[in-house]
Structure 1
Amino acid sequence: MHGISELSFAGASAALLLETNVVAGSIVGSLVAVGAIGVLGARARDRNSAIGILMPFGLGLGVLFLALYKVRAANKFGLLTSQIVAVDTPQMTWLLSTSAVVLVALVVMWRPLSFASADPDVAEARGAPVRGLSFAFVIVLGLAVALSVQVVGALLALTLVVTPAAAVARATASPVLLPLLSIVFGGILLALGSNIPISPYVTTISFTIYAVCRLVGKYRTRRLGARRTAPQPA
Structure 2
Amino acid sequence: MNGAVELLIEPLRYGFLLRALVAAVLVGAICAMVGSYVVLKGLAFIGDALAHVAFTGIVVAFLAGFSFYIGALAAAIAAGLGIGWVTRRVGLSTDTAIGIVFSGVFALGVVLMAIGIRTYTVDLFSYVFGDILAVRARDLWAIALAGLLVVGTIVALYKELLFAHFDPVVAEAAGLPVGALQLLLLLLLSVTVVVSVQAVGVVLVLAMLVTPAATAALVARRLPAMMILAVLFGALAALVGFYLSYYASVPSGGAIVLVATVLFVLVAALVRGRGAWRRLMAAYR
Normalising by the residue count of structure 2, what TM-score does the alignment of the two structures yield?
A: 0.71
The Cα shift of 1:66 comes to 3.0
Which sections of structure 2, spanning at least 5 residues, go unmatched? Answer: 1-46
Q: CA, structure 1 residues 184+62, in 2 after alignment: closer, same or farther (shift >3 Å)?
A: farther
More divergent stretch after superposition (126-135 vs 197-206)? 126-135
Distance 1:150 1:118, change over 3 A: same
C-alpha contact (below 8 Å) 2:57/2:75 kept by paired residues: yes
User: Cα deviations across residues 165-218 of structure 1 (Å, max 9, x unaligned)?
Assistant: 111111212322322332332322335452532222222112122222223333
Structure 1: distance between partners of 2:229 and 2:118: 41
- Sort the Cα spacing of 1:218 and 1:82 in 2 relative to 1 into closer, same or farther, 3 A: same
Equivalent in the alignment of 1:42: 88
Is the CA contact 2:62–2:68 (under 8 Å) kept in the aligned structure 1?
Answer: yes
User: Quick one: higher RCO (CA 8 Å, sep 6+), 1 or 2?
Assistant: 2
Count residues in correspondence.
231
Higher mean Cα deviation, 79-88 or 217-226? Answer: 217-226
Do 2:241 and 2:259's aligned partners in 1 also have CA atoms closer than 8 Å? no
Give the equivalent residue in structure 1 for 2:202: 154
Aligned to 1:182: 230
Residue equivalent to 1:120: 168
Residue 101 of structure 1 corresponds to 149
* Cα distance, 1:96 vs structure 2: 2.9
Output the CA distance in 1 between the equivalents of 2:267 and 2:241.
Answer: 23
Q: Which moved more, 1:58-67 or 1:164-173?
A: 58-67
Which piece of structure 1 moves more, 27-36 or 39-48?
39-48
How far is 1:137 from its partner? Answer: 0.8
Residue 10 of structure 1 is matched in structure 2 by 56
Deviation of 1:115 after TM superposition, in Å, equals 3.1
Aligned positions of 1:202-221 closer than 5 A: 202-221=256-275
1:77: which partner in 2?
A: 125
Indicate the structure with greater helix content.
2
Percent identical residues: 25
| CA positional deviation for 1:25 | 1.3
- Asked if structure 2 preserves the Cα contact closer than 8 Å seen for 1:34 and 1:138, the reply is yes
Structure 2 distance, partners of 1:147, 1:19, is: 18
Instruction: Quote the residue 2:79 is aligned against.
Output: 33
CA spacing shift, 1:84–1:184, aligned 2, 3 Å: farther
Shift of 1:222: 4.6
8 Å contact from structure 2 (residues 241, 257) kept in 1: no
TM-score normalised by the chain length of structure 1: 0.84
State the alpha-carbon separation in 2 of the partners of residues 156 and 217 from structure 1: 26
Instruction: Give, in angstroms, the shift of residue 122 of structure 1.
Output: 3.8
Mean Cα deviation higher: 97-106 or 23-32: 97-106
Which residue matches 1:196?
250
8 Å contact from structure 1 (residues 10, 26) kept in 2 = yes
